[in-house]
Structure 1
Amino acid sequence: MTQTTEKTGFIGVGLMGHGMARNIVEKGYPLTVIAHRNRAPVDDLVTRGATEAKSMQEMASSCSVIFLCLTGSPEVAAAVAALKPNLKQGSVIVDCSTSDPTVTERLAAELADIGVDFADAPLSRTPKEAWEGTLDCMVGATEAVFARIEPVISTWAGKIVHIGGVGDGHRMKLLNNFISLGYAAIYSEALAMSQKVGIPIAEFDKVIRGGRMDCGFYQTFMGYALEGNRESHKFTINNAYKDIRYVESMANAATVATPMTSAIKNAFAHAVNTGGNGPEDYLPHLADYVAKANGIN
């Protein structure tokens, strides 16, 4: 058990946040959580030793380090605005969401004015690794803030990289998701072509699995395409579409030509606009929408 005087808070105990928060409290950190739409994770965390805050004001006034794991920058900005009046000088907000780096920098500047630090610490991997405490994490923060938050992050992350200053964690996360969402788009199109030319998915997989084109992302993606496991990679198509739009925005600001980014974005836009916008439409299900566009059931 960790011995600490740091009082942690967690906002956003959803697919990823539930496991992360569970590791924080079970590894010795005092933890305060707050409910949103789904009470089940909060109730579970309370049984493990967490305290439930009844309001954002209570969360702000009772915690020294508060983690956010939310859908995107609009939700992060709203949470910070709700917390801000009651935050204690010297506290830290850590945004683990996939967010727009320009918003990250703006929030950091606003909080600095009241003596509160801000860090971006987005994640890679899946809810399975969140539960196991083996996520990857890329952190944007000053050296002093990183040294302070790293022990808490290490309760739920197996690989932690201090990328640079505030905003750099989110920039790296967008680069990471550009690659992973590109994989998803390529796999989906390859599976559609495989079906069209008469190569069964099982035979396709025999060639790729264990070869140079194999990777962890391929394996979770194929958990659905090959085995029918709808929860093999629980990251929604809606969130993927949001992330690739953030990638495109970052590239536009840096004056980078983005033919690949635009192609990936269009694959997800098509899926979202043809039914893939529900809370249980996950990344591997993109293959279904690409297949339908090609006349395949």
Structure 2
Amino acid sequence: MAEPVIGFIGVGLMGHGMAKNIVEKGFALRIVGHRNREPVEDLVKRGAVEADSPRALAAACDVVVLCVADSATVESLVRGPDGIAAGGRPGLVVVDCSTANPNSTLALEAELGRMGITLCDAPLSRTPKEAWEGTLDVMVGADDATYERIEPVIRCFAGRIVRVGPVGNGHKMKLLNNFIAMSYGALYSEALTLGQKIGIAPEVFDSVIRNGRMDCGFYQTFMKYVLERDENAHRFTIRNAHKDMRYVADLANAAGVANFIGSAVNNYYAVAEATGGAGKMVPMLSDVVAGLNGTKLA
């Protein structure tokens, strides 16, 4: 059997490294142009072929991987007149690695299923560094037959794959993961601000938390910004964090679950975005919270 042709849409911060690993592992790769031409041109040099639309890409591929900002973008890529649904053949598999609203995911799965196209979700954890190295964590929502088809592709950019159940569960689990992560960001920001106000400097705070039971990878990248002002230490924007927290709120509302902590965390990111911080990285929330309380951490 011939090797499948892989399509990739969304060669941004995460997608560039993922697509690089797919083509370097020997798969024929088609990509759709990105507003930033640098990753597109890099991938073409590595052997990828650029398609002029999602429709053309879908028509030429067996598996299409999406790694874009939100559900609205996924829906546009699938449903648009030049979209995946317009070009895809029966048997095509669409793998959505975005952080998306599970309700949207399930609606798209049903629509595409009526056309003989399979959609599954495989959202990601970790950072662009791990995407480039091919060591991302991937949460897959798919049936056994679909997983068997997509697993070799996912292995190209994953260090750890966890199957979490049927389609939709990948995006549900991703939102739970990001709920915890973004809550840590808000918690660190508030704790650091309180510490600064009562005479505990960030350096002292870090000397106690680091290498203790409360240390973790997220804490380390967060504090690399706080202590060293490295804006690239944790490359995940406040805009995306706020979007994910809105999706968490939707999930909680649909389930009838009181989401007190989620609401508080959401408001922190909402304030940060509304005051001009949308494109800043999550650890920079610490500056926003400090400023709201009349102090600075730097």
Shift of 1:54: 1.5
Which whole-Å deviations, capped at 9, do the CAs of 1:163-207 have from their partners, x for residues lacking one? 000100000000000100000000011111111111121111110
Shift of 1:36: 2.5
User: For residues 212 and 136 of structure 2, what CA distance do their matches in structure 1 show?
Assistant: 25
The residue correspondences of 1:99-138 to structure 2 (distance < 5 A) are: 99-138=100-139
The equivalent of 1:10 in structure 2 is 8
The equivalent of 1:162 in structure 2 is 163
Tell me, yes or no, if structure 1 residue 210 matches structure 2 residue 211.
yes
Tell me, yes or no, if structure 1 residue 258 matches structure 2 residue 256.
no
Q: Which of 66, 69, 77 pairs up with 1:68?
A: 66
Q: Return the letter of the residue paired with 2:24.
A: E
Provide the aligned length of Structure 1 versus Structure 2.
Answer: 293
Q: Return the letter of the residue paired with 1:28.
A: G
Shift of 1:57: 2.1
Q: Return the letter of the residue paired with 2:291.
A: K
Q: Return the letter of the residue paired with 1:177.
A: N
The equivalent of 2:281 in structure 1 is 282
Which whole-Å deviations, capped at 9, do the CAs of 1:198-240 have from their partners, x for residues lacking one? 1121111110000000000000111100111001010000000
Q: The residue matched to 1:32 in structure 2 has which SS?
A: strand
**Preserved contact between residue 23 and residue 46 of structure 2 (Cα < 8 Å):** yes
Q: The residue matched to 1:226 in structure 2 has which SS?
A: helix
User: For residues 2 and 39 of structure 2, what CA distance do their matches in structure 1 show?
Assistant: 24
Tell me, yes or no, if structure 1 residue 23 matches structure 2 residue 21.
yes
**Preserved contact between residue 34 and residue 40 of structure 2 (Cα < 8 Å):** no
The residue correspondences of 1:185-196 to structure 2 (distance < 5 A) are: 185-196=186-197
**Preserved contact between residue 12 and residue 34 of structure 2 (Cα < 8 Å):** no
Tell me, yes or no, if structure 1 residue 174 matches structure 2 residue 172.
no
**Preserved contact between residue 4 and residue 27 of structure 2 (Cα < 8 Å):** yes
Q: Return the letter of the residue paired with 2:133.
A: E
Q: The residue matched to 2:156 in structure 1 has which SS?
A: coil
Structure 2 regions of 5+ residues with no counterpart?
none
Q: Return the letter of the residue paired with 1:204.
A: F
Which whole-Å deviations, capped at 9, do the CAs of 1:98-150 have from their partners, x for residues lacking one? 00001000000000111010000000000000001000000111111011101
The equivalent of 2:31 in structure 1 is 33
**Preserved contact between residue 138 and residue 169 of structure 1 (Cα < 8 Å):** yes
Moved more, 193-202 or 69-78: 193-202
**Preserved contact between residue 134 and residue 158 of structure 2 (Cα < 8 Å):** yes
The equivalent of 1:222 in structure 2 is 223
Shift of 1:4: 5.8
User: For residues 215 and 133 of structure 2, what CA distance do their matches in structure 1 show?
Assistant: 23
User: For residues 44 and 194 of structure 1, what CA distance do their matches in structure 2 show?
Assistant: 45
**Preserved contact between residue 25 and residue 31 of structure 1 (Cα < 8 Å):** yes
The equivalent of 2:293 in structure 1 is 294
**Preserved contact between residue 4 and residue 29 of structure 1 (Cα < 8 Å):** no
User: For residues 146 and 9 of structure 1, what CA distance do their matches in structure 2 show?
Assistant: 17
User: For residues 215 and 239 of structure 1, what CA distance do their matches in structure 2 show?
Assistant: 21
User: For residues 153 and 2 of structure 2, what CA distance do their matches in structure 1 show?
Assistant: 10
The equivalent of 1:59 in structure 2 is 57
The equivalent of 1:95 in structure 2 is 96
Q: Return the letter of the residue paired with 1:57.
A: R
User: For residues 27 and 120 of structure 2, what CA distance do their matches in structure 1 show?
Assistant: 19
The share of aligned pairs that are identical, in percent, is 57
- Structural RMSD (CA): 1.0
Q: Return the letter of the residue paired with 1:37.
A: R
Q: Return the letter of the residue paired with 1:33.
A: I
Q: Return the letter of the residue paired with 1:15.
A: L
Structure 1 regions of 5+ residues with no counterpart?
none
